Amino acid sequence: MTLSLLAMIKKIFSEEISVERTLVLVKPDGVQRGLIGEVIARFERRGLRLVAAKFMQVSQSLAEAHYAEHKGKVFYDGLISYITSAPVMAMVWEANNAVAAVRQTVGSTKPAESAPGTIRHDFGLEVGRNLIHASDKPETGEREVALWFKKEELVDWARDIDKWVFEK
């Protein structure tokens, strides 16, 4: 009896749906290589909903705030100079369980190890030129969206096709 109750609880949690927002950046190499449209097309066709977008030059202070968790690591200085070296396309995408879905489409951190069909695999070779950023956890998504966008830049909207993408 206790076991089946546990199993039921597990099942409920594993199928839990949460509407999430995730920050996506087309990094300077992606912008320079003309891949903004390619990246947007992949998320659009997967069914995610665009909530905000801006094309911008990243300041030193924003770069440092965004990558604070990596301060002190050997690649930190290179990471900051890379992200501030040319404009980025910053976006917020929304869906049920958006964070995991977007990370899956993005691929793993090192392009050489990411799965075929992912953005990092299909367009990249090196970790220091991995084209794209995506929030890694729902809490990170919330923090990063708030860091990069003002509340009034986030557009709450529904699409006519939402019922054909989302079951609930």
- Which partner, ligand DAT, Mg ion, none, binds residue 118 by CB below 5 to 8 Å per kind? none
Encoded one letter per residue, x for contact with Mg ion by CB under 5 A and - for no contact, window 75-94 reads --------------------
Q: Which residue has the tokens 């691929």?
A: 107
Q: How many Å apart are CA 122 and CA 107, to the nearest integer?
A: 9
The reply on whether position 121 binds ligand DAT by CB under 6 A is no
Q: Which residue has the tokens 């529904």?
A: 158
DSSP letter for each residue of 60-92? HHHHHHHTGGGTTSTTHHHHHHHHTSS-EEEEE
For ligand DAT, the closer of residues 37 and 128 by Cβ is 128
For 25, the enclosing helix (H) or strand (E) is strand 19-26
Encoded one letter per residue, x for contact with ligand DAT by CB under 6 A and - for no contact, window 65-104 reads -----x----x---x-------------------------
The answer to whether 133 is a known catalytic residue is: yes
- Among 136, 138, 154, 166, contact with Mg ion (rule: CB under 5 A): 136
Mapped to the 3 state alphabet, what secondary structure does 144-165 carry? HHHHHCCHHHCCCCCCCCHHHH
Binding residues for ligand DAT, rule: CB under 6 A, are 70, 75, 79, 109, 127-128, 130, 133, 136
Give catalytic residues, as residue numbers.
133
